[in-house]
Amino acid sequence: MSSAGSPQGDEPGERGDFIRNLIRQNLADGTFGGRVQTRFPPEPNGFLHIGHAKSICLNFDLAAEFGGTCNLRFDDTNPETERADYAAAIEEDVRWLGYRSDRGALYASDYFDQLYRWAEDLIRAGLAYVDDQDAEAISENRGSFTEPGADSPWRNRTPEENLDLFRRMRAGEFADGERVLRARIDMAHENMLMRDPVLYRIRHRVHHRTGDQWCIYPTYDWAHGQSDAAEGVTNSICTLEFDAHRPLYDWFLDHLDLLGDRPRQTEFARLNITHSVLSKRRLLQLVEEGHVDGWDDPRMPTLRGLRRRGFPPKAIREFCRHIGVARVDGTVEVELLESFARRELNQTAVRRMAVLNPLRLVIENYPEGQVEMREADNNPEDPSAGARKAPFSRELYIERDDFMLDPPAKFYRLSPGREVRLRSGYFVTCTGVETDADGNVAEVRCTYDPETGSGQAPDGRKVRATIHWVSAAHAGEGRAVLYERLFADPHPGADGADPMESLNSDSARLIGNARFEPAMADIAPGQVVQFERLGYFARDPDTPDLFHRTVGLRDEWARIQKRQSAR
RNA sequence: UGGCGAGUAGUUCAAGUGGCAGAACGCCUGGCUUUGGACCAGGAGGUUGCAGGUUCGAGUCCUGCCUCGCCAGCCA
């Protein structure tokens, strides 16, 4: 079955994206002895977002599809920015997304000893040297895109001298920035990254795992490939900006004494989403400037934000599989993510009636004081979800939007003289309204047809609309937040603009006086429920009376209104 | 300015190694329905960045050009 456009297939021999094709080819020619091992390597210096999810899903799915393994490995080579609590949060988020690292959490810092030994090997081979130049001088002597760099005056030190100096660096004899260890490659190389890259820098800093054991720390380039090799990674998958690092990645591994195969780096395009930003810097700015309530604000594209918002992990996984991988930068429409949330939630979320903007409805011919329990399916898509009972009485609340005194064309809901169905209740016909001093509709009057309790009229007459309701005397009260796009512009910051300029000032609208049917009490903290006809809402984990709108239902009437007003 | 990477419906991706340019989301029509939801059926939407060339035949191969992204941290 599926091939084009649905890369989630795991049938061998099926065509797919360039990464899967590569792995299949490796498998066929025995490159890694039939092994497939990947890794997800975040730096523990912030929270994971939907862009990371793409990488997580790719790496773990690849391993699962080809019978391999995938590890979570923290790239913790820079003690200045990293923290243990970030690492813990990342582990939690990966688990929440639905993946388990095959060997628990691994750390680049676990390889500091091995990395150090490899560095000494390189020095002994005359391929690395200690440079006394400061950062500014190194930068100046690197040259430019069009001009070659200049050799450091310390480039030709003997291996003995380099070894001595490097050991003294490690022993703490020098201050931060006083010396670095550099690879001895080619200061005129057309790839700037090959112009004697820095391997170690001095940082007298406490590391969140190794404490004060080290005062020299490996750079990303020196640590990454070797960490991959150390743990047996076959396919090291990273984003496009590391493309230029690949020759370096290979150079190091080619000049070291490895136990196993040389891992292979492959790059793919990172994810962008419309009406959002994903750079760490912008996300941090949103939090620090108070545009959102924190890293787990439901408007944030962080996994914690999406979780609080009610996005099911499965929907995120399916989304990531659907968008596939390529080497072209692009921006996915946020509507696609939402459509995956709807698809999943439609199958799994229980239904409840909630009225967000209450309008009193009085049924004139329904006996005062009478209450009957109406049965309603928990989920029409899933009979095994059972049913609940909702109290029905003479005075109800309906949605203010479901009534119009003077209805325009194509408005099928309640209006004077018109009959509609109350969901899981009876047919009612509007007989009139009560208005307040300002002439606003304060209450709608109607009569009900006791013969329509089955949902159908015995005489076969039809109604065009079914609306939701709650019994006024039995309703619970609560609050709901309606979210819109955080950024009004689909591409915030495009053409050099400041993304913050397009912040949507109305991205969170609080509804303070929503009314719920009593069975809303069954909804657990964090659980997502469908408010019938309105959308999916997640009960806040900490504030039980608060619901976050995950995503609305498709709204045909809203679309008609939009079209009419556009005319 | 040098190097590398990339250009296929609005968007994201497909289209063994030259053989009828497709899917999903979005949009439009219709059907069905106790959610104007879901579901079902259909439709619109393409000069495959541009210009040449090779070939019976080019999204795919060749040449030139254009546009976009990344690279001059002791960040990752």
The pLDDT assigned to A137 comes to: 98
Q: Note the CA–C1' distance, A439 to B59, in angstroms.
A: 65
Q: Distance in angstroms, CA of A326 to C1' of B62? A: 25
Rounded-to-integer distance, Cα A112 and Cα A341, Å: 42
Q: What is the pLDDT of residue A15?
A: 56
Q: Is the CB of A160 less than 7 A from some atom of nucleic acid strand B?
A: no
Q: Which two tokens stand for residue A361?
A: 């409805």
A449-457 long-range contacts (CB < 8 A, ≥24 apart) are A450/A426, A452/A421, A452/A426, A452/A427, A453/A425, A453/A426, A455/A421, A455/A424, A457/A427
The answer to whether A409 CB is within 7 Å of strand B is no
- What pLDDT is recorded for position A305? 98
Nucleotides of B under 7 A from a protein CB: 1-8, 10-16, 22-28, 34-39, 68-76
Please, which pLDDT band fits residue A8 given cuts at 50, 70 and 90? very low
Residue with tokens 């498998």: A27
Average pLDDT over residues A429-445: 96
pLDDT at position A564? 82
Tell me the mean pLDDT in the region A367-394: 97
For the segment A203-213, the average pLDDT, to the nearest whole number, is: 98
Average pLDDT (A241-248) is 96
| Lowest model confidence (mean pLDDT) among A209-223, A253-267, A413-427 | A253-267
Rounded-to-integer distance, Cα A402 and Cα A532, Å: 13
Query: Which tokens in the block code for residue A395?
Result: 């005075």
The percent helix, strand, coil of chain A (3-state, each to 5) is: 30, 25, 45
**H helices present in A8-158, as ranges:** 18-29, 50-65, 84-97, 112-124, 135-140
Which amino acid, one-letter code, is at A563? R
Contact between A434 and A445 under an 8 Å Cβ cutoff? The reply is: yes
For the entire predicted model, the pTM comes to: 0.96
Which of chain A's residues 470-529 bind strand B, using a 7 Å CB cutoff? none
Residue A36: pLDDT above 50? Answer: yes
The mean predicted confidence, pLDDT, of chain A is 95
For residue A497, what pLDDT is reported? 86
Q: Name the closest residue (CA) to the C1' of nucleotide B16.
A: A15
Tens of pLDDT, residue by residue over A466-492, are: 999 999 999 999 999 999 999 999 999
Q: Is the predicted pLDDT of residue A6 greater than 90, yes or no?
A: no
Contact criterion met (CB below 8 Å) for A520 and A478: yes
- Work out the percent of chain A whose per-residue pLDDT is above 70: 97
Residues 39-78 of chain A in contact with strand B via CB under 7 angstroms = 41, 43, 75, 77-78
A563 band by pLDDT with thresholds 50, 70 and 90? confident
- B53 C1' – A18 CA distance, angstroms? 29
Is the confidence at residue A290, as pLDDT, over 60? yes
- pLDDT at position A380 is 96
Mean pLDDT of A512-525: 98
Q: What is the pLDDT averaged over residues A368-395?
A: 97
Q: How far apart are CA A327 and CA A365, in angstroms?
A: 67
The more confidently predicted of residues A10 and A302 is A302
Residues A418, A463: Cα–Cα separation, whole Å:
9
**How big is the CA angle at A92 (ends A90 and A93), to the nearest 5 degrees?**
65
CA of A235 to C1' of B52 (A): 40
What 3-state class would DSSP assign to A94?
Answer: helix
Nucleotide nearest to A411 in CA–C1' terms = B36
Where in the sequence numbering do the catalytic residues of A fall? 43, 270, 280
Which helix (H) or strand (E) segment holds residue A565: the answer is helix A556-566
Cβ of residue A456 near strand B, that is under 7 Å? Answer: yes
Q: Confidence class of residue A11 from pLDDT cuts 50, 70 and 90?
A: very low
> Which nucleotide is at minimal CA–C1' distance from A340?
B25
Strand B close residues, chain A 80-119, CB < 7 angstroms = 81
